Structure formats: structure tokens, C-alpha cells
């Protein structure tokens, strides 16, 4: 059912408020904007599913947002990250009590980023259509095919949720998801981070000035993109940002022969950029940022020990039919080998593998191949 009037919305919300668990999905576009342009909100219970039209001017969505912020109600999403970003933008808060079926699927061996269509096929033996994946959700009226496709996103999601919950309970694995869900819902996950904003950018100039400039320019670009609601690369492309960071011009004439730096860009943004770069040029060395030093040999895990430990993690994951990353990332494994705090020190991960790994690293047990399988046991 498509909700476009306040009367229908109020009736739908009265039903939704009775549920302890609701499935939620959104349809949006963001190809030409910084923030997602919300086009449709789908919400469902075991009995009913609704497609709520946020483009309908009559609707007051606040009661729905209040429901989504209710910590007593479980909100089920699949691949929740961008949906949560939309609702954080609308409410200023990260939604509580979220269950992400894509994360949960890792504890059942479905892989690290299973698609919604494949999840439904694996859990419910139902094959959904992909026909409307690239549809224009801003166009009105929506076709029957669009509406059916959108509603299926929550109709089957709520069923898959119960299927997954039952499987996790039968394997005593519900608590295995706590750390992943906590990371998903942390405030830090939604904050602009210079490390993420400069990921993949490589500087030929390795000086602290260039490093600091790149990070501060990336933050400036992100803020400007938010302010203008345009994608970051619409403000300035990564390659041009690197040129500015490496050459650090402080006046317009200095940019005239710089490739990828247009006069129009300098005309629009030079008054903001030049003070940033001037401050970096005149800063004391102690005030400049520096990349993290590469660890000394004594601070890194031995390569062969790391590979052997990763092999054991992968082997354990295969035996338990879960995704290896759910047990430990490479950095978790390295920290564990070096005796630093690690996820492998805690809870179910320690019981599943950490205890065994600790004995192996201390030389108390050994690794064998027995009947074609990898096993650990007492040293001969």
C-alpha cells in the first residue's frame, strides 16, 4: 500500500506501533547530491507492509521517526549503513536497536556482503525479481511494478529476520553479532574522518606540509560538499586536490599554470583555500600532521607466523561455517600475535579460537595435518 495522505499514514502508524519488530528499507538517489535524496520509505510487520511517500507534501513523518528512535522496537535492515545515514540526517541521531541481516548472515556462513536477493534465496528459497533495481524512484506516480518491488524489500525481510534469528539461536550465536552491531551504530561511523576522506590518495611529496595540506583540504572539501549538497568530486576531483596539497599555492597567480585547477574554481573557492594553505606554509613543524610511522621490525608480526595464524582463522571459520572476518581481521590477528589488546582476547572469539591460538603461540601445542585436515594438539 502506498501512503500519500495523513489519514492513511496515521492508520498505518497505529498498526506499526503495535509491533515489537519492524522491517525497514528506503529508496533514494544520491548521484548528484552529497546527501541521499529520500524517495520512499518501506516499513513492514509480519502482517502488513507500507510504502510511505516522503515526497507527499501533506505527510508529517515525525511520528514515524519517533517510532524508529524507540529503543524498545527492533528495526530490521539489510545493509543498513546508507539507510541509517538517511535517518541520522533526518533526526540528528543514530537509530537504536538495529538488526542488520547482512551482518547477521556472516555468522551463518553466507559471506561478508551477501545481497538482499541472495539472502532471501538462501533463507526462504524464494527468488525475487531484479527488474526495478535501477528505476527512477523520484518519478510519480509509481508503477505497480515499482511498488511491488519496493514492498517486497520489507515483506521478505521480516520473514528472513525470523529465519536468521532461529538459526542463530539454534547455534547459540546471537551474541556473536554484538561487536559488529556496535560498530555499525557508533557515532564515529557517521563522522567525517580525514583518514577515510583521503583513502587511496597518494602524495609524491611526503613532507609534513603536503600531508597536512591534503588532510585539511579533504576536510574542507567535505564540508563544502555538505554545504552545497553536491558530491565531493563535483567540488574538486581527488587528483586536483593532490596537486593543491603538493604545490600549496597561496595566491591566484600561482595557480595559473597548475593542471586541473580551473580559474572558475579559484574564483569560487580561492578566498577559502588560500588561508588554509598559508597557515600550513607558515606553521611550526610541531603543529603539522605526520603519517603514522611504519612499525619497526620488532613491532610487527613475523610474516610466516601471521600467515599460519590467518590460515587457522580461515580453517576455523570453514569448520564453523562463518565468515573469517567475523572471527578476526588481519589487524586483530597481528595485535594478538604481538600481545596487544585484540578481539581474539575476548568473549566467544577467545573460546572459539583465541585460547587455542595462545597455546600455539606459546609453543604449548603444535599444528598438524591429520587425515587431510588441519588440527592442533599437544606437542609430541
Here the CATH number for the domain that contains residue 165 is 3.30.420.10
Q: Note the pLDDT of residue 293.
A: 63
Together in a domain, 65 and 172: yes
pTM, rounded to two decimals:
0.87
* pLDDT interval class at 193 (50, 70, 90): confident
Together in a domain, 146 and 102: yes
Instruction: Answer whether residue 259 shows pLDDT above 70.
Output: yes
Residue 376 CB-density burial (10 A; 0-12 exposed, 13-18 middle, 19+ buried): middle
Of the residues 261, 287, 313, which one is the last residue of a structural domain?
287
- Cα 264 to Cα 270: distance, rounded to the nearest angstrom: 9
What average pLDDT score do residues 263-280 get? 97
The domain containing residue 308 runs over which residues?
Answer: 297-378
HSE of 276 in the Cβ direction (CA atoms, 13 Å)? 19
Together in a domain, 10 and 52: yes
Residue 82 lies in a domain: yes
Residue 72 lies in a domain: yes
Percent of the chain with pLDDT over 90: 78
What average pLDDT score do residues 310-339 get? 92
C-alpha cell at 52: 510511505
Together in a domain, 249 and 179: no
Packing angle, helices 263-282 and 208-228, rounded to 10: 140
* pLDDT interval class at 133 (50, 70, 90): confident
Together in a domain, 45 and 180: yes
Q: Which residues contact 334 (CB under 8 A, 6 or more apart)?
A: 300, 301, 306
Contact 234, 262 (CB under 8 A): no
C-alpha cell at 161: 529476520
- Cα 130 to Cα 123: distance, rounded to the nearest angstrom: 18
Together in a domain, 43 and 146: yes
Residue 76 lies in a domain: yes
Contact 146, 39 (CB under 8 A): no
Containing 318, the helix (H) or strand (E) segment is: helix 303-320
Cα first-last separation, the chain: 68
Peptide bond into 174 cis (omega under 30): no
Residue 272 lies in a domain: yes
Contact 186, 49 (CB under 8 A): no
- Cα 17 to Cα 172: distance, rounded to the nearest angstrom: 30
Q: Note the pLDDT of residue 300.
A: 55
Contact 343, 364 (CB under 8 A): no
Together in a domain, 51 and 113: yes
Residue 292 lies in a domain: no
Of the residues 190, 224, 258, which one is the last residue of a structural domain?
190
Of the residues 287, 319, 336, which one is the last residue of a structural domain?
287
Together in a domain, 235 and 176: no
Residue ranges of alpha helices (H) inside 101-248 are: 101-106, 116-124, 144-170, 178-184, 194-197, 208-228, 232-235, 238-247
Together in a domain, 323 and 232: no
Contact 44, 151 (CB under 8 A): yes
Together in a domain, 151 and 110: yes
Together in a domain, 270 and 336: no
What average pLDDT score do residues 72-76 get? 98
- Nearest CA to 240 out of 278, 206, 207, 266 is that of 266
195-251: pLDDT as tens digits: 999 999 999 998 999 999 999 999 999 999 999 999 999 999 999 999 999 999 999
Q: Give me the number of domains the chain comprises.
A: 3
Q: Note the pLDDT of residue 297.
A: 46
Dihedral sign for Cα 66, 153, 181, 226, please: negative
80-128: pLDDT as tens digits: 999 999 999 999 999 999 999 999 999 999 998 999 999 999 999 999 9
Contact 236, 258 (CB under 8 A): no
Residue 81 lies in a domain: yes
Together in a domain, 29 and 100: yes
Here the CATH number for the domain that contains residue 260 is 1.10.150.80
Contact 230, 33 (CB under 8 A): yes
Residue 83 lies in a domain: yes
- Cα 139 to Cα 352: distance, rounded to the nearest angstrom: 51
Residue 12 lies in a domain: yes
- Nearest CA to 116 out of 154, 84, 144 is that of 154
Amino acid at each position: 500500500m502506498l501512503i500519500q495522505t495523513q489519514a492513511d499514514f496515521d492508520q498505518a502508524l497505529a498498526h506499526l506501533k503495535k509491533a515489537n519488530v519492524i522491517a525497514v528499507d528506503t529508496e533514494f538517489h544520491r548521484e548528484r547530491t552529497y546527501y541521499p535524496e529520500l524517495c520512499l520509505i518501506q516499513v513492514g510487520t509480519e502482517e502488513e507492509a507500507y510504502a510511505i511517500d516522503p515526497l507527499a507534501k501533506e505527510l508529517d513523518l515525525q511520528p514515524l521517526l519517533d517510532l524508529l528512535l524507540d529503543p524498545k522496537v527492533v528495526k530490521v535492515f539489510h545493509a543498513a549503513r546508507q539507510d541509517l545515514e538517511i535517518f541520522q540526517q533526518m533526526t540528528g541521531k543514530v537509530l537504536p536497536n538495529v538488526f542488520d541481516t547482512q551482518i547477521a548472515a556472516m555468522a551463518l556462513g553466507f559471506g561478508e556482503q551477501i545481497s538482499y536477493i541472495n539472502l532471501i534465496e538462501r533463507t526462504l528459497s524464494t527468488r525475487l525479481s531484479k527488474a526495478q533495481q535501477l528505476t527512477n524512484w523520484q518519478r510519480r506516480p509509481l508503477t505497480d511494478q515499482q511498488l511491488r518491488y519496493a514492498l517486497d524489500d520489507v515483506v521478505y525481510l521480516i520473514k528472513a529476520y525470523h529465519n536468521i534469528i532461529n538459526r542463530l539461536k539454534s547455534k547459540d550465536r546471537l551474541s556473536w553479532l554484538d561487536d559488529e552491531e556496535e560498530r555499525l551504530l557508533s557515532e564515529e561511523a557517521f563522522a567525517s574522518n580525514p583518514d577515510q576522506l583521503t583513502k587511496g590518495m597518494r602524495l609524491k611529496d611526503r613532507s609534513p606540509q603536503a600531508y597536512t595540506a591534503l588532510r585539511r583540504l579533504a576536510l574542507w572539501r567535505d564540508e563544502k560538499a555538505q554545504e552545497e549538497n553536491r558530491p565531493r568530486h563535483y567540488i574538486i576531483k581527488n587528483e586536483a586536490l593532490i596537486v593543491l596539497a603538493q604545490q600549496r599555492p597561496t595566491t591566484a597567480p600561482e595557480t595559473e599554470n597548475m593542471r586541473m585547477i580551473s580559474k572558475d574554481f579559484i574564483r569560487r573557492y580561492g578566498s577559502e583555500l588560500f588561508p588554509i594553505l598559508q597557515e600550513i606554509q607558515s606553521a611550526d613543524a610541531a603543529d603539522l600532521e605526520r603519517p603514522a610511522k611504519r612499525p619497526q621490525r620488532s613491532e610487527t608480526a613475523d610474516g610466516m607466523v601471521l600467515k599460519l595464524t590467518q590460515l587457522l582463522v580461515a580453517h576455523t571459520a570453514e569448520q564453523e561455517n562463518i565468515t573469517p572476518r567475523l572471527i578476526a581481521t588481519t589487524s586483530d590477528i597481528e595485535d594478538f600475535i604481538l600481545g596487544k589488546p585484540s578481539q581474539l582476547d575476548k568473549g566467544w572469539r577467545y573460546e572459539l579460537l583465541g585460547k587455542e591460538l595462545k597455546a600455539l603461540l606459546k609453543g604449548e601445542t603444535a599444528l598438524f595435518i591429520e587425515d587431510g585436515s588441519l588440527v592442533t594438539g599437544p606437542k609430541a
